[in-house]
Each structure stands twice: as structure tokens, then as C-alpha cells.
Structure 1
Amino acid sequence: MQAESRIINDGYLAIKEGRIAAITDDQRKLPAEFSGKVIVETEGTIYPGLIDLHNHFVYNVLPLWVVPKRYDNRSQWPSHPEYRAGVSKPIKQALAKFSVSAKALVRYVEAKALLSGTTTGQGMRTQVNGGSRLFRGALRFAEQPENESLPPARSMVPDLVVTGATAAERISNFREALNDESGGVYFYHLSEGIDESARRHFSNLKINDLINDKLVGIHSLGLQETDLNHLQQKGAKVVWSPFSNQLLYGKTIDLRALKASGLLFSLGCDWSPTGSKNILQELKVAWFANQQQGEVFSNYELVCAASSNAAAVTGWGAHLGTLEAGKLADILVIKGNEDDAYMQLIKAAEPEVELVIIDGIARYGNLDFMKRLRVDTAHPIEELTIGNRQKGFYLYRENSMINDIGFNTATQTLTEIMRDLPGFLNRMEQEKATLLDLGVDTQEEFTLELDNEFEIESDVFQEYEHPDEAELLADPPMVDAIELDTHTVSGNDYWERIEAQQNISAELKNWLKSCYQH
């Protein structure tokens, strides 16, 4: 991924102490210290690990929501009764609130990302004994990369509104976070929507001089060509989420304007309720959108958006995103060796993911590979089947609070809880009441922060365009049951939900089916 032509047709990659030690096209050229070491013949194509720079991971246990109509901006759809009852409340009122469900949720969504080749994600924060901190597991996270060479990112989900009694304070806080010298880039949901209301949030940043080389504008859907040019001139970047854009708003970013601006961009799934299940699926949607707009970007450039360019967006390009000696060993292997290595990755489905390595540790892959690369005999590899292929997880992480929960246990726990949400809440309330009677502290050990659940402050309420008043004031009850989203792009009624989407084309639906239904 250093250049489109830099492909080694028959190569060897050596790993030492979490970093790539050597890459060569001849085994005899490997450093002498690797003589006699384990060699895994993958018979596949080796890529840098995939980087997903926009995801609300906590919600990725939920199935795809059938979006009821086309929306103009992000302030509208969260008030829809179906969304509140079936997306927001199951997480907010149940799954995120209790340790037993929160731990299972974190394990499940992490594993779900790993089995698609994701090695770095953006966004999952936990509450541990009442204190806020980022989840520590097998995945690398942009906000807590667990490596002193990688500056940690920060993020803000709610729109910055520059009117109202607390406007000066909000602007000051945004500026302070953006320019914080102790951190890296600043992810901000920028102009998510297609109307002037969405674009106004970009104008607010521009007027208040809040755009610089640390700003990463997630979505940026409402921006015009001149706006994209301004971002590029200031050194800012964007994250493109084409499936979520189309599912909610019926269109995605103007790729010709994006290309002309020279703006650095990466890909992000957003979340399973209105986006892709994983970064492999998002690559397929990106490819289709690119075709529809005239093949603006090459296949290589699209893969860059999930690897080398994504690393550059976070400021990590010196350590991740390409396969080079000295870089961190975050690696993906896809089954087979096709002539177009970039299209091979774009078309790949989860069964073709043969190996995922993070920091030199094999975390997921072909069961035989996982057994051969096993270095920790104290913690077993967890077996599973994807398609008809035997795979394995190694999810143990020192000092992680979820080491006692495997993928299969998490799946079973969530399936049972989500089958009867009111029953689960009743059990939790009864357990708390019993503990209180015994004088035991009932504070949950491990819960989840919800970055996509925010309240609009009363002094800026008029800045948002809302649906009708009845919808806004309604308080629908949480659904009684909801199916756990499948860990691959398949199963349950997924394709029926795709067919029912009003805002995406029949051509996109057929393209996605062709990639998975074979």
C-alpha cells in the first residue's frame, strides 16, 4: 500500500516484538534470526489491517433499521418513534446499563469487527466503577491506541451550535479540545445531512476559526466544493460513510468535488442500525458509489481509504497503514491471489478473512493458522465456523475486564437478553433490590457511554429542524424483543431489510447481494 504497483507476488513478511521486521520476495533474504522460526504459508494476499474511522460500536448488536423516509439532517431521524423504541432505548435503557449485558456487548462487537479484518476502530468508551475510560481489548482504538508512538484522538458527536446563552462557552470548549497539544486529531460529526441546516454547522466552524489540521469531519455530506477546498487548505480531513449517507439521506458525498479538492479522506461504517456491518461491506458500498459517479477513484485509492490514508488521517502514517519494515504489525490476510489485489479485497466477504494480526499477535483467523501462531498456552483459542470454514479467536488481553467472556458466551448472553428486554430489566431490578437489602453497593462495575445519545440544550433548540410536534413529544415504550445482529453480512432477515430500504437504489441492493449470496 505504498504505491499501486508495489505488490510482491510471492513474498515473506517477518514479525518481531509487535513490529514488521522484514519484507522480502525471497525466504533466503530473511534476517538470520528468523532461521528455524514458524513460517505460515497463507496462500493468500496480505494487506495492512483495515482501519474503521467512524463507528458507534456500542450499537452494533442491533439489526439494520428500515429507515421510514428520506431525511434532510441528523436532527430529524432520532425522534422517530420506531428509532427510539427499537434502536435508542434497547441500548440506553437496558444493554448499556448493566455489567452483564455491557460486557457481553463489548466482546461481541469487538469480535464482529475483527472477523472482517478490522484492526483499528474509532469510538467505544466504558464506565468502570463510575469512572470513564476507553475499553481495553483485542482491537486498537483511535482514542486509546495503546502505543506511545500513536497520539490518541478525541471526538465530539453533537453539533456545535454558536447561538444561545452558553455559546461562548461551547465555542471555547471546542477550540480547547481541537487544539489540545496532548492529543492527536479531533473527530467531529460535521454537516451530516443534505440541507442548509446541515451545512450551517460547517459555516459555524469557519466563522469562528475552528478548522485546522487536527479536525476530522465525519460525514461532511452537506458540504459544497468550496467548503471541501477550504478544509483541504486548512489541513483538515474527512471520514466518508457512504452506506449510512444513502440509507438516511438518499445520497452521498460528491466524489468529483472530493477528488478535485485533494482532501485526505478515509472510510467509516457508522453503525449497524443505519450503516454497514463492517469495513469490508463499507468498501463494497464505496466502490459502487464510485462507479455510479464515474469511477472517480481507482480501486487502489478506495483501499487506501481503509488503510494507508486512514492511518494518515489519524496522524499514525509513520507506524501503521502500510506494510513496511519497522511499522506496527497490524496485518490482514485474504484467501486467494487474484490479479487485481485491490478488487480482491473490495469483493471479499467474511469467510475469506484468513488471518488478522494486531501488534504482532494473531487475534483471529483460519483455525490452523491460529494454532500454529499461538504463543499463549494459558488462554485457549475459541473456535467458530464462518460459512463452512473453521476459524478461531484469541481475545485475551492483559488487564482487560472482559477476559472471562468469549465470543460464543457473549452471543448466547445477548441473544437471551434481547429476546425478553422487559424480563431482563425486571431481573436486574430485583437483584439490585436484594443487594440493597443486604447493604451491598449496587453500582454497576462496567457500563457503557453512549456517544450518539445527546440532548439538545433548551437555549439552542430553535437551531434544529424537527419533524412534527406530535412525533417529537411522543415517548414510545422500548420494544419487548429485538434480534441480535448477526456477526456477518447474512442471516436472519438482513436481505429483506435491505430490500425494504427506500433511499438506496435497486442497483446497490443487487450489487451487495451479488457480493455475498454465492
Structure 2
Amino acid sequence: MLLLLLVSICATLPLLAPICDTGRCLSGAYRNGLYLLRGTVVTPDEVIEEGEVLFNEGGILCAGRTCEPHPSYCNAQLVETGSYIFPGLIDPHNHITYRFLPPWDPPQQYQNRCEWIGSSDYYAYKACHDFHRDDTYRGASGRSVEYQCIMEIYGEVAALMGGVTSMQSQLSDFGWDCAEGLVRNVDAQDADGGWRGDTVDACTFPISTCSGNGSSCSNRASIEEDIESGCLQSWVPHLGEGVDCQAYREFEALTSCVDLLIPQTAIIHATAFGPDEFAQIAGAEAKIIASARSNVNLYGRTLDLPAVLDAYGNRGLEDMVAISTD
């Protein structure tokens, strides 16, 4: 997983000058994406009422009572949060409302996503989840909405207990208020749990080969327009989930009919891809999110990490590949 941090009201806070006087800091140096947050820092071991967290785009550099000994301290832009700060982990791929269910034990292993997603065994496994979800979609009773929120809250508490403070693939895109809660939702630009301007399009299956012939492609023009305008910073599709040619064809669709192999793309799964595909992904500076647990459970194998390592070389693998809990 990658490191990040959660600040409950960070989106609306004023940004102040560099924390050191100009005699010690270079003019404009604080614009390098380096920030120092001050507030009540909550760690697994203690609550620090007047603590500091120093971080940059790569992750957390310091969390404690003071970060002054760190060599980057003077170049940081100071944010007085007046609130709680939770340094923690990012879970880059999760379906949070399913967390209350026990892990699915499939009766067999499959070749691609299409084989199990419509199976009677899978529908029986998730029947309880879907009952309450579908009631909510129909706008039925407040009781159904309450159960949907309980599933969401349970998943968030479980994530926090594991050290996660930010997560991708929560519920806010469906509009439920309970999705804007304890864990920062990176899918939600305007939600209380998200940071404005940090927008992720978690379109689950934008390129589908389940019909058997060819592929259906997502709206490339719309995605490109959103990226160019700055309102979309990351496109996170599920691609190559499986081990056969049908799963592989999603890469062909990505590079041909969609043509969105770009730095803003982070591919979830990629189990059907090999060295040639990973070389193209690395060359485009796109990212990969591995889902080892579900991949092994469903297909008997997961991302070919040695091939990924060869493809990315010395490009800073920690910024290119993330491991999810799904």
C-alpha cells in the first residue's frame, strides 16, 4: 500500500508561508509539494495534541511532536489544521460494503471475470448485500438506507483498525450521505471525506469483453476532456482480470478503441497481461494496482510482479505499483 494521510477539514484550510524565516529558506521553495500539518496527531500508539506531520507527494516523512529535525522541515508549507490528523495507509481498491460478508470461497477457479460474476454461486454469496442495496436503489424505506449505511460504516471501521485512512471504491458516487465518514474517500471530489480537486474516476468495468465478441469501450472523449480540464486526475479501470485470451483482449481495447494508456491511468488487476503489455504500461507511465487475494482465490494466480519489475526498471516502483486488500 501507499502512504498518505487524512485531515478532517484540510480542504478548506488557508495555506500559510514557509515555516522558517527567509534567511533559512529559499524563496518559493515551499511550492515543491512539501507540507507541514499541525494539529492533534492520532497514531496507533498515542494522541499528540500539538503534533506535526511532514509529507510530500511521495508519502509521510515525519509524524510526531515535532518534525524540526527533518532536513526538509524549513522548505515545507505550513498548514495549521486546528483539527485531527490521521497519518495512515491508502487502500487503492476495495468494495467496502462487502466487508461485512465472510470471504467468498468459490466452488472452482475461473478463466476470467465473466465466468463468475453472473454465476448462481456468486449471487447466493452476496444475496444479503444486494437485498439492502437494491431496496435503497428503489427508494424504499428509511430502514433499508440505514442498513446500507451500517454496511458502509462497518467497512470503514474495519479499515481504520487495519491502519487505512484513505480508500478508493467507496459509496459516495451513489450519493449516500453515510459514505462521507471516517475514511477519506478518494473517489469523492466534493464529499466531506475527500479533498477538493483530487478526483478519481473508478469506472469498474469500462471495457467489457463479456459479450463474447469484441469489446465495448468507455467514453474516451469525456475522460480526455475531464483530464485536460483538471477535474479528473486519475482513471482507475478494472482490466485484464483473469488468465485467458478474453481477459487479455481488454488490453487491446485499452490501446486501440479507447487509447487511454496514459500517466493518469491506474489499472486494477492486470493478471492476464505479460512482459510486452507491462513494457507498454511502463512506457506510458501508467500505474498498476494489484489485487492478489481475490486474484489467487478466483483465478489461481495474480499479477506477474517479476515481469512488472523488469518493465519499470529503476523508475521508482513505489510510485507505479500499489497493493490492495481486495
TM-score range, shorter chain: 0.5 to 0.7
Q: Does 1:92 align with 2:138?
A: no
C-alpha distance in structure 2 between counterparts of 1:179 and 1:165, whole Å:
29
C-alpha distance in structure 2 between counterparts of 1:135 and 1:186, whole Å:
20
Which residue of the partner structure matches residue 296 of structure 2? 246
Q: Which amino acid aligns with 1:206?
A: T
Using a 3 Å threshold, how does the CA distance of structure 1 residues 27 and 257 change in structure 2: closer, same or farther? closer
Aligned residues between the structures: 240
Q: Does 1:16 align with 2:38?
A: yes
Which of 187, 201, 224 is the equivalent residue of 1:154? 201
On the 8 A contact 1:160/1:171 being kept in 2, the answer is: no
Q: Does 1:184 align with 2:233?
A: yes
C-alpha distance in structure 2 between counterparts of 1:220 and 1:171, whole Å:
20
1:493-504 alignment to 2 at 5 Å?
none
Percent identical pairs in the alignment equals: 24
Q: Which amino acid aligns with 2:168?
A: Q
CA displacement, residues 467-506 of structure 1 (integer Å, 9 cap, x when unaligned):
xxxxxxxxxxxxxxxxxxxxxxxxxxxxxxxxxxxxxxxx
Which residue of the partner structure matches residue 121 of structure 1? 167
Q: Which amino acid aligns with 1:181?
A: G
Using a 3 Å threshold, how does the CA distance of structure 1 residues 29 and 81 change in structure 2: closer, same or farther? closer
Q: Does 1:199 align with 2:245?
A: no
Which of 102, 106, 119 is the equivalent residue of 1:80? 119
C-alpha distance in structure 1 between counterparts of 2:246 and 2:240, whole Å:
8
Which of 268, 289, 293 is the equivalent residue of 2:324? 268
User: Displacement of 1:50 after TM fit?
Assistant: 1.3
C-alpha distance in structure 1 between counterparts of 2:216 and 2:238, whole Å:
18
Using a 3 Å threshold, how does the CA distance of structure 1 residues 193 and 167 change in structure 2: closer, same or farther? closer
User: Displacement of 1:147 after TM fit?
Assistant: 2.7
SS of the equivalent of 1:49 reads strand
Which residue of the partner structure matches residue 136 of structure 1? 180
Q: TM-score scaled by structure 1?
A: 0.41
Q: Does 1:236 align with 2:286?
A: yes
User: Displacement of 1:126 after TM fit?
Assistant: 4.2
CA displacement, residues 170-221 of structure 1 (integer Å, 9 cap, x when unaligned):
4545555665621211110011001011010011111132210110000111
1:336-347 alignment to 2 at 5 Å?
none
User: Displacement of 1:79 after TM fit?
Assistant: 2.2
1:27-426 alignment to 2 at 5 Å?
49-87=88-126, 89-95=127-133, 97=136, 98-126=144-172, 131=175, 135-144=179-188, 146-148=194-196, 151-161=198-208, 170-173=219-222, 175-176=224-225, 181-208=230-257, 209-262=259-312, 264-270=320-326
C-alpha distance in structure 2 between counterparts of 1:183 and 1:192, whole Å:
24
User: Displacement of 1:49 after TM fit?
Assistant: 1.1
C-alpha distance in structure 1 between counterparts of 2:64 and 2:146, whole Å:
49
C-alpha distance in structure 2 between counterparts of 1:147 and 1:241, whole Å:
25
SS of the equivalent of 1:20 reads strand
On the 8 A contact 2:132/2:145 being kept in 1, the answer is: no
* Structure 2 residues not aligned, in runs of 5+: 3-35, 41-51, 55-60, 74-85, 137-143
SS of the equivalent of 1:182 reads coil
User: Displacement of 1:113 after TM fit?
Assistant: 0.5
Q: Which amino acid aligns with 2:110?
A: Y
SS of the equivalent of 1:17 reads strand
Q: TM-score scaled by structure 2?
A: 0.64
User: Displacement of 1:60 after TM fit?
Assistant: 1.0
On the 8 A contact 2:266/2:286 being kept in 1, the answer is: yes
User: Displacement of 1:63 after TM fit?
Assistant: 0.6
Using a 3 Å threshold, how does the CA distance of structure 1 residues 26 and 52 change in structure 2: closer, same or farther? closer
* Structure 1 residues not aligned, in runs of 5+: 3-13, 32-46, 271-518
C-alpha distance in structure 2 between counterparts of 1:85 and 1:182, whole Å:
39
User: Displacement of 1:26 after TM fit?
Assistant: 10
On the 8 A contact 1:179/1:214 being kept in 2, the answer is: no
SS of the equivalent of 1:76 reads helix
C-alpha distance in structure 2 between counterparts of 1:255 and 1:165, whole Å:
28
CA displacement, residues 270-328 of structure 1 (integer Å, 9 cap, x when unaligned):
2xxxxxxxxxxxxxxxxxxxxxxxxxxxxxxxxxxxxxxxxxxxxxxxxxxxxxxxxxx
Regions of 4+ moved over 6 Å: 24-31, 162-166
C-alpha distance in structure 2 between counterparts of 1:160 and 1:24, whole Å:
41
Structure with greater contact order relative to length (CA < 8 Å, sep ≥ 6): 1
Q: Which amino acid aligns with 2:180?
A: R
